[in-house]
Amino acid sequence: MNSILVIQLKRLGDVILTTPALNALRKIYPEAKITLLIDHHSAELAPAIPNVNEVWIYNRKASFNLWFDLVRRRFDLCLDFTGNDRSAVASFLSKSARRVGFSFLAKRAVRSWVYTQLVQSAVRDKHTVEHYIDLVRSLGDSGSAGHAWLQLPDGVERSAETLRRQIGLPDRYFVVHPGAARPDKYWMADRWKAVIAHAQKRLGSPCLITGGRNAAELRHIREIVAGANHNSAVFNLAGKVDFLLSSAMIRAGTLFVGVDTAAAHVAAVFRRPELVLFGPTNPFHWHPRHAHSSVVRAGVEGPLDHFDPRQKGRPMSELSTDSVIRAMDVLLKGLN
């Protein structure tokens, strides 16, 4: 196997949770040239993705050159982790002798004929990491699934150290990431204020807020910061740094608290103690799986100790401040 195309056109969190599958693929084909195709919304992550030789960026507004490159390259194997119309076109144009996708593609005959092999994987009944790695398991035995994995470039780590000095952030701080691409994941600003104040008292350290550049997300974070105690140390980097620099800041934090989004997966990658808040999404499919993590979800009191693939989402308003603080205290006590 000389050349492999891997297609993952979903957003940042899915790309991060595809890295265990990339690791498994590299174990099966250690000498192959692996090309990863990702969407332009995930382009910032490209320098930190391990086990690939190159990353191609898909942009719907400027895709002609990409289609041409796909036809010209002629890959030996194509793995499609996305399963939509765009990824089906990319799979077809790769002209790979073996084109592998998930069996749910069979529901759309127009898509399914593109692939030479469809893999059974019940996405509803599996954590997203396990679902993605099923595609690679169809190629051979690669051992256990492992964990999500990123390699931050040295320059990013140095930039993070410089930034901490510039803004006066001490070595010990905790991170709060309250925003997401979906507004229905936002938690109430006054409840964030109470949780931040509690964490500051427990940890005796300042709070660093991270977030993306989305206008609605920035408004949400400004409301949280405006409602915080002005005597407390709250550093707001939301919208001011790129994703990798934000990831380096998360890596250096003593604790991560945030909603279900890509930043929570970053905290899991680096095994940071973390508390993740869930509402409309089911934590069964997305929860962190390392030892120093905890999950709370709307409609359930305290830390979640059971994950059910059939749990329905609940509005974030049903997640109480007391429930989050109680789960945080349990998590912190376990770290001592």
CA dihedral 71, 11, 107, 140 (to 10 degrees): 70
d(CA 185, CA 282) in angstroms, rounded, equals: 12
Q: Identify the residue whose tokens are 């989402």.
A: 313
Alpha helices in the chain (DSSP H): 12-28, 64-73, 85-93, 109-112, 128-137, 154-167, 189-203, 215-226, 243-252, 262-269, 283-286, 321-335
Say which CATH architecture domain 154-335 belongs to.
3-Layer(aba) Sandwich (3.40)
Tallying the residues shown for the chain, one arrives at 336
Q: Give the pair of three-digit tokens for residue 98.
A: 């073996």
Residues 217, 143 contacting (CB under 8 angstroms): no
Alpha helices in 53-119 (DSSP H): 64-73, 85-93, 109-112
Q: Which CATH superfamily is domain 3-137 in?
A: Glycogen Phosphorylase B; (3.40.50.2000)
Q: Where, residue-wise, is CATH 3.40.50.2000 in the chain?
A: 3-137, 154-335
Q: Give the pair of three-digit tokens for residue 275.
A: 């508390």
Is the full-model pTM beyond 0.75?
Answer: yes
Instruction: Give the N- to C-terminal CA distance of the chain in Å, as an integer.
Output: 49
d(CA 83, CA 106) in angstroms, rounded, equals: 10
pLDDT (0 to 100) of residue 259:
98
List pLDDT tens digits, range 20-54: 999 999 999 999 999 999 999 999 999 999 999 99
Q: Which residues of the chain have pLDDT under 50?
A: none
Phi, psi of 201 (to 5 degrees): -70, -45
pLDDT (0 to 100) of residue 61:
81
Q: What is the mean pLDDT of the chain?
A: 93
